[in-house]
Structure 1
Amino acid sequence: MNRHRTTILVLLCAYAAGVSAQAHEHASHPAPEVLGSVTFATTCAASVQPRFERALALLHSFTYTEAEKGFRDVVAADPKCAIAHWGVAMSLYHQLWDAPAPADLAKGLAELDQARRLGTGSPRERAFIEAATVYYTDYEHVAPATRAKAYEQAMGDVAARFPDDPEAQIFHALALVATAPPTDRTHANQKRAADILEPLYRRYPQHPGLAHYLIHAYDSAELAPRGLDAARAYAKIAPSAPHALHMPSHVFTRLGDWNDSVASNLAARKAAHAAGDVGEELHAMDYLTYAYLQLGRDADAKRVVDDLAAMHGLGAGKFKIGYAANAMPVRYAIERRQWAEAAKLEPLPDSEPHVAAIVYWARAVGAARGKHPKDADADIAAIDASVAKLDAAGNAYWATQTRALADSARAWQLFANGKTDDAIAHLRKAADAEDAAEKLPVTPGPIVPAREQLGDLLLEAGRPADALREYKTALEGAPGRRGALTGAAQAAERSGDADAAKRYREPPSRS
């Protein structure tokens, strides 16, 4: 068997079949495909090694559909290449997004079964295959989170068995980030992952997965400053991957670097559109809308929302698509405090319960804050029904987040009905629940953090000093949010603190 290691700066034009430079020397050629530098020793035919590593580079940038095609191309060219079947299965397992659908789980398991039947590959390759099989095994009866944890432990064993293999360490680190409990505010898994990734990143600065997964490891208010180097580098490492162009904005959003977030997501949106990747395009559009609104660029945000309205046939049942497509109009209405506009929004057909609940929340808040609190009844009931569905499905994370939406909506209805103390209690409950868990990577954050809403309610209730304390806390978790800064300035001014009011009105620019 041929064992070799080939380091590539992946260039599509380097292996495209049938291209004659002489025949096209006067033609206009597209820019080379640059995905970063990946090395993965295999026992497959030498002729497929560049294609395998290209597919792996795509996988590390979560360009899943193209990665799957790439690995299948390797299988077609070398039917005995077992590790390529592993690649197909890993392309179907979107670790930081939603769990694979049953059809994809069946496909992934079939690929791994085929890899095992082939019996080819080195002990290291077979270890990767066995670890992935742990995730897919008995998927009909074992919960996704349980299988994900088992896979993380299996990859930990692979990493320990092959301590000098960078890919074993990288995939283990990704699994640690993917299985980090959202309620662990110590970020223990993320810090473990970063401890693995940082030394490797210094050795392999062009590896796309290292920069990518460091950004995910540092995607929290506590750790975001550590992610700036990786954020600045990733888009340069793999500019042909739309997700690589978007990912820096996770750090920029955490730090309130809105101009950098806009630039990142404009590039990502353009690249995703060109690639026909609707999910990635919408993901970038959601972050872009969010950043525009924080900068007060409402007209630019409107253009993005209008572009969304022109996109037909969106598969809202897919979480990444459904979340962004439902959230953008909600952000646009609520951040601008257009309550009547918010009250008229409709969730997209087939939206998941926790996604549709965002729209029900906007409608309820719009009705309550627009002086029609009775009109919020049906939407609050719809949020409660969404919570019940999530509880029944065992989706604890989103049940908690959706329950916080219900408390927030009730708070504004109670406040509109003159029950201020009860309203404050409900919003404080929502804020505490929301603060207890990290956001998931598919969203830039809550539409309006409940802690910020609590500040708004206290300010409207004539308690500016209390409001200011809540705004300060809100800004610690979400720096640079326009609503919290404006509210804090008003609260400080009404509390007689002119210096603080000036600081909040003229915060130092981060970009």
Structure 2
Amino acid sequence: MNLLLAASALALAPMDTGHAHEHSPQLGKLRFETSCSKAAQTQFETGLRWLHSFEYQEAERSFSQAAATDPACAIAYWGVAMSNYHPLWAAPTPAELAKGQAAIEKAKAAGAKSPRERDFIAALDTFYRDAGRLDLKTRAFAYSDAMARLRERYADDDEAAVFYALSLIAAGTMDGDKAYPRQKQAAAILNGVLARNPDHPGVAHYLIHSFDYPALAELALPAARRYAAIAPDSAHAQHMPSHIFTRLGLWDEAIKSNLAAEAAAKAHAAAMGMVGAWDQQLHAMDYLAYAYLQTGQDQKAEKVFDDLASISQADPPSPTVAYAATAIPARLSLERRRWDEAAALKLPATVNGLKALTNHPWAIANIHFANAVGAARAGKLELARDGIAKLLADEQSLKVPPGEYDWRKQIAIERQIAEAWLANADGRRDDAMRLMRGAADLDDATEKHPVTPGAILPAREQLGELLLAQGRPANALKEYEASLQRAPRRLAGVYGAAEAAKLAGETEKADRLYAELVTMTQDGDDARPEVKSARMFAASLDSTRR
């Protein structure tokens, strides 16, 4: 089936709003036949629904309940092991790896009664087996190969198809192929399940992940607009559509999605009796602040930061927490061009004490990036050099095992952007251009991690700004337009392109870009320069019409 037509079919599929179990969580529909007792079967399928929305703690809890209800339910232990893998997030921690390995051993020892259950267990065993000897990438590819064989063996099995598709997406994030063959293959498989079960939570969720790339994002829009309704009790299902809304610059939808996700995450933390915030709350907050900034709603973005500063504990202490905690303040200073503020930026003591920052020290590079760029743009060259030295130390200290996301490369991009602005401030214009072009090329060749809505400052957008600063508006316009292809409707990108077009004498294009600014910033705050320019343009149009 054509991918675009199939994606559209998801949007057109009718929603079943009936609730067969009034008090059970609403997480979509699926069926996974097991040889477990009836009570354990129900608990197992609840775990599976949570799992397909990446609600790993809830999933593991349900699978553990199934195993306690029926100790002979071998596939329930498989569920516990699957809950500790999370293929598209960070690699399992040593504790998660140990828990997953123990669960797989229990699954094998319990002796599943059906060949199909034994095959699911054996496939996941390829991921956990020899974990001390083989790297993450090797094991992830071995698991995907095993799932390919399982799916071929059970051609009509929806869960075999969906989990195989997920394994392909995971492998695709590791192979670096910009044609995205694995992701496209996964989408085709998922669309086959879609025809049979349009309310399957994994189908909508994984279609979003399959197409979470600039060149493919449009294909995921139907899934993005449907997933939250399929699994309304999942905070991640409320948030995940915003990945696509952000990719496409649909800021109002991104804001709505993340407000719902933040509320759901707070409700979950309260229901679970968590002392602090759930990590999914911070994930939604980062995307929310980003979307507010793209619409000029600075006061609302500041409120997100104020909320962040009130959080002194967030669990689990994941990369999600570490990234959001440092990205939100860095964005607020840099996107609003508050260079002195960025140069002096430090995390609030509450945020700085989060355990996640100890677990994931690479995240502090976002603060060092803000310090270095802010100082360079403010003309504080020694302070800029100090920030760049810290970025280099962050980069050199980071070790990246095969298959894990290369945060070191992201830090290298940030360092080169900062070095370019330092060189420009120091009068070394050619060096500045060389450094910034190198950063832009490296950024173009690098996919963002799902934890982030986008770069703190996209390197090619920064190249456009540097060219504009050096008095080359026609060249700047080309770079801004190229950046907007990857990150549509970014406020700084649209504003920079409009200014460059005006200075380059491309009046018609400038007018179109300014008109887009007017639309984007209709709810924006007057203090933002981009908002002022948009309103001045709108006022000039009004006076012309009179």
Quick check: 1:148 aligned with 2:140? yes
Provide the rounded CA distance (Å) in 1 between the counterparts of 2:20 and 2:446. 41
CA offsets, 1:142-182, max 9 Å, x none? 21122111111111111111111110110011111112146
- 2:387 is aligned, of 370, 379, 383, to 379
- The one-letter amino acid of 2:294's match is Q
Rounded to whole Å, the distance in 2 between the matches of 1:353 and 1:322 is: 8
Structure 1 segment 51-200 matched on structure 2, within 5 A = 51-181=43-173, 183-200=176-193
Residue by residue over 1:73-120, the C-alpha shift from the partner in whole angstroms, topping out at 9 and shown as x without a partner, is: 001100100000000011111111111111111111111101101112
CA apart distance, 1:11: 6.6
Distance between the aligned counterparts of 1:49 and 1:492, measured in 2? 62
Q: Which residue in 2 is equivalent to 1:401? A: 410
Residue 32 of structure 2 corresponds to which residue in structure 1? 40
User: Using a 3 Å threshold, how does the CA distance of structure 1 residues 196 and 444 change in structure 2: closer, same or farther?
Assistant: same
Q: In structure 1, the residue corresponding to 2:449 is in which secondary structure?
A: coil
RCO higher in structure (CA 8 A, sep ≥6): 2
Quote the residue 2:240 is aligned against. 247
1:370 to partner: Cα distance = 1.0
What's the offset of the Cα at 1:460? 0.7
- How far residue 354 of structure 1 moved from its aligned partner, in angstroms, is 2.9
Q: Distance in 2 between matches of 1:415 and 1:9?
A: 62
Tell me if 1:485 matches 2:494. Answer: yes
Cα-to-partner distance string for 1:379-429 (whole Å, 9 max, x where unaligned): 211211222122575667222222111111100111110111111111110
Is the CA contact 2:87–2:170 (under 8 Å) kept in the aligned structure 1? yes
**1:368 corresponds to 2:376:** yes
- Counterpart contact for 1:208–1:234, Cα < 8 Å: yes
Which deviates more from structure 2 when the two are superposed, residues 93-102 or residues 339-348? 339-348
Following superposition of structure 1 onto structure 2, how do residues 360-509 of structure 1 map, counting pairs within 5 Å?
360-391=368-399, 397-507=406-516
- Deviations along 1:36-87, one digit per CA (max 9) or x if unpaired, are 1011010001222221111100000011101100000001100100000000
Assess if the C-alpha contact under 8 Å between 1:68 and 1:88 holds in 2: yes
What is residue 333 of structure 2 aligned with on the other side? 333
2:287 maps to 287
Structure 1: runs of 5 or more not aligned: 1-6, 15-31
Asked whether the equivalents of residues 344 and 363 of structure 1 are also in contact (C-alpha less than 8 Å), the reply is: yes
> TM-score, length-normalised on structure 2?
0.86
Structure 1 residue 141: Cα displacement: 2.4
Larger displacement relative to structure 2 (307-316 or 86-95): 307-316
Alignment match, 1:18 = none
Q: CA deviation at 1:343?
A: 1.5
Q: 1:210 to 1:51 in 2, by over 3 A?
A: same
- Distance (Å, rounded) in 2 between the aligned partners of 1:255 and 1:92: 32
Offset of 1:193 from its aligned partner?
0.7
1:208-287 equivalences under 5 Å are 208-276=201-269, 278-287=278-287
Q: Which amino acid aligns with 2:142?
A: A
Where does residue 22 of structure 1 map in the other structure? Answer: none
2:196 equivalent to 1:203: yes
Q: Hey, what's the Cα distance between the residues in 1 that align with 2:502 and 2:316?
A: 44
Contact 2:40 2:73 in 1 (8 A): no
The CA distance in 1 between the partners of 2:266 and 2:189, in whole Å, is 34
Q: What letter is aligned with 1:363?
A: N
**Which one-letter code corresponds to 2:448 in the other structure?**
K
Separation in structure 1 between the aligned mates of residue 186 and residue 366 of structure 2, nearest angstrom:
32
Offset at residue 313 of structure 1 (A): 2.8
Distance 2:112 2:315 in 1: 39
Confirm or deny: 8 A CA contact 1:8 1:39 kept in the other structure: no
Query: Quick one: distance in 2 between partners of 1:340 and 1:170?
Result: 50
In structure 2, C-alpha distance between the alignment counterparts of 1:37 and 1:330, rounded to whole Å: 40
Distance between the aligned counterparts of 1:489 and 1:203, measured in 2? 47
Q: 2:383 aligns to what SS in structure 1?
A: helix
Moved over 4 A (4+): 7-14, 391-396, 508-511
Q: Deviations over 1:197-240 (max 9, x none)?
A: 11211221111000000001110111111111111110000000
Q: Size of the alignment, in residue pairs?
A: 488
Distance in 2 between the 1:261 and 1:217 partners?
19
Cα RMSD over matched residues? 2.0
CA distance in 2, matches of 1:402, 1:56: 36
2:200 and 2:230 in contact (8 A); partners too: yes
2: distance between equivalents of 1:481 and 1:12?
43
Q: 8 Å contact 2:400–2:406 — kept in the other structure?
A: no
Which moved further from structure 2: 455-464 or 130-139?
Answer: 130-139
Aligned residue for 2:516, secondary structure, equals coil
Shift of 1:345: 2.2
**Contact 2:279/2:314 (<8 A) preserved:** no
In 1, Cα distance between equivalents of 2:304 and 2:373: 23
Q: Letter of the aligned partner of 1:414 in structure 2?
A: A
Cα 1:73/1:125, change in 2 over 3 Å: same
Distance 1:416 1:478 in 2: 27
> Do the aligned partners of 1:9 and 1:38 also contact (CA within 8 Å) in 2?
no
Change (3 A) 1:396 1:262: closer
Distance (whole Å) between structure 2 residues aligned to residue 392 and residue 196 of structure 1:
31
Question: Hey, what does 2:535 align to over in structure 1?
Answer: none
Q: 325-334 or 378-387, which moves further after superposition?
A: 378-387
Question: CA separation in 2, counterparts of 1:470 and 1:160?
Answer: 46
Contact in 2 for aligned 1:316/1:350 (Cα 8 Å):
no
Which stretches in structure 2 are left out of the alignment for 5+ residues?
Answer: 1-15, 270-276, 523-546
- SS of equivalent to 2:190: helix
* Structure 1 residue 507, shift from structure 2 partner: 2.3
Q: Quick check: 489-498 or 146-155, which moved more?
A: 146-155
In 2, the alpha carbon distance for the partners of 1:113 and 1:396 equals 28
